[in-house]
Structure 1
């Protein structure tokens, strides 16, 4: 499974919504004192300075303050367990990019439409706003950060290979995935061993992240066996067959090594990969990296949400807090620390975000990701996407390591998906 920023920060992507179930009994009480709104989140999900300010008093909500608890381990399971017990439930909770997996339990959260959310809708990216709304139009989750995608590449290695080196020229040379593969072949010929992805599942994940449809329709029809998914699958296999993958599986000792030793000369990734990848694994490569629009168009991978539980002591104060925390000004501050890319386009012109990045040779990389975020078409995520994605990516790994042919792995993946969706009652 491909490493994400959330896993790197010891965050969680749980998967126990169906298994946990929201049944149980107990007092319907929330955590904390009467003047205190409890917030559950994970490490690296909020700006510490802003939380410190709110812990002294929520702007616009006199007499109310926030108390943050950082939840480690399996965040989702702990949250769902708390909701199932209906006792000592946090007032406000962070939800990860798998927000749709909470939709079957939407009645455990307040409908933010009723608290006036639409008054600030225009401040946010439309596609991000929609992701927190259930198919029956209940606004369960409020936008936090996003994960726009782009192409990272080593300018020095591209120069050595005689390839274009400036961001605009690289983008012109690889506007789509096929031309990216051709560029990769030239790169490998000139610099033996050079790769344009760490592994097969990364190509698949980022091709999928560009699509206007994914695994299921809003009305619950499974379409993960359709041509759009097969094309992303075949693209991933093609990259491997051309010898352009470093075959460094996530979690292996090679995962960082291929960045450190320069073998990974290019990578389509989300904005958070800048920190996770080169800045973490190859700090000595400072100045050599550049960013340009990704082949195949804009995409998004990652991003979080805030929700107010139905046990909240003061919904109005809680809503004041989340709208203040996720304002354009404060999202720009959260980009500095902990490097969360805003869902508010007004943030992209904030001086806190527009500075040159020395690691990327003085390039204003925010401009590239801002365009990706604004142009991303959006898509529908179903409550079952995680269940569907797991066997598909597992079978792609089988192709990369030579355990199965592409067709066999595809058929096996679809069989496993059908079994799992049947088991949870989705089909």
Structure 2
């Protein structure tokens, strides 16, 4: 399946049909001396925002007016762009940044503001994710989501297996050895699992791949061996009884952490907060992290973009480059725990404090190494659309309503229908 230029433009047309051609005067949100910004809760350091609200460093005649949008964030951003009136000057984008690529003409090409001169300060793969296939830099790097193996040091000790991070990493360098390790622990400590659900294994396995669902020139490769291998790995974890079958967006996900069943989990750096620190605070000191079986991966991370309706693009660029410099990314790691995209920050003392929750381990050493080692992959505007049927069919496998082979075929058929519907093939 190949996405032609016509197919790419048809996606833009589809977005336009959804409202991106709305009428109205072209104006940005906020007063003349303000730069307005939309984001969501937990995306920026409040102290830095308070500083910019008084005067933006590098553009002191401007101040920041920030609004945190609740639910349906992307819909509200696209609706604002559609109306071409009261559009925010700056918008945050999640790791689905590529879904905005068909609307790249609604944003300032950051190359025109001198962004290229800053590229060397950021992780190369992260920098590239904000650049469209036709080389428009639509979005500027914020945080990242490098992965690691989280595990219960105390339960590993009880099971009689390796317990120190270097030892565990050596014992489970790949998914096969990790599954075997999980089986050993489950035999010694009945009820133990190494994932909450099958979709988690698939998502984190995919996060390690050099290719995902599509190529930059629009060819669909989500039916390739690299995806099928990740699928089969996820299926094997379930078949071996190492998944809790706690489906996403249910209370069961937190319960398997708090009740101690989840003894290991391959997750992104942010899972530390959403997982054990939130769901099982009494396990403080019992967790450790080590290198991810199967190689470095990344899941998550955000961006900032300047809309074409911005009152002062130069001032907006001064703000976002200041907010995301190495020093300020260190502040954002402390609060709200955003892992940096600037390698220089990995050496900052703020990131290298021992973490009591992880037994005094300096976890930045693990995540920083992963962030540097991650090979990067191309994300297409269709990734979310493709993932949905694949994960839905994986769930059918986990709950036992379909065989793995049947679910794979059904997933691919559903993906083909969806890509046809949006004009991608």
TM range (shorter): over 0.9
Corresponding residue of 1:386: 384
Corresponding residue of 1:165: 163
Corresponding residue of 1:36: 34
Question: 2:223 pairs with 222, 225, 249, which one?
Answer: 225
Q: CA deviation at 1:97?
A: 0.4
The 1:20/1:401 distance shift into structure 2, 3 A limit, reads same
Distance 1:146 1:402 in 2: 35
Corresponding residue of 2:152: 154
Q: CA deviation at 1:339?
A: 0.4
Tell me the SS of whatever aligns to 1:302. coil
- Structure 2: gaps spanning 5 or more residues: 1-13
Normalising by structure 1, what TM-score? 0.96
Write the deviation string for residues 101-140 of structure 1: whole angstroms up to 9, x where unpaired. Answer: 0000000000000000011110000000000000000000
Distance 1:187 1:248 in 2: 19
Distance 1:393 1:211 in 2: 17
Write the deviation string for residues 367-409 of structure 1: whole angstroms up to 9, x where unpaired. Answer: 1000000000000000000000000001000000000000000
Corresponding residue of 2:327: 329
Distance 1:217 1:353 in 2: 36
Distance 2:187 2:22 in 1: 62
Tell me the SS of whatever aligns to 2:350. coil
- Write out aligned runs for 1:16-415 (5 A): 20-415=18-413
Distance 1:107 1:137 in 2: 12
Normalising by structure 2, what TM-score? 0.96
Distance 2:154 2:362 in 1: 18
Distance 1:19 1:379 in 2: 30
Distance 1:99 1:233 in 2: 25
- Structure 1: gaps spanning 5 or more residues: 1-15
Q: CA deviation at 1:253?
A: 2.6
Tell me the SS of whatever aligns to 1:94. strand
Distance 1:350 1:284 in 2: 29
Q: Paired residues, what number?
A: 412
Off by >6 Å, runs of 4+ in structure 1? none
Q: CA deviation at 1:24?
A: 1.2
Distance 1:55 1:105 in 2: 29
Write the deviation string for residues 400-423 of structure 1: whole angstroms up to 9, x where unpaired. Answer: 000000000000000000000000
More moved, 86-95 vs 244-253: 244-253
Give the aligned CA root-mean-square deviation in angstroms. 0.9
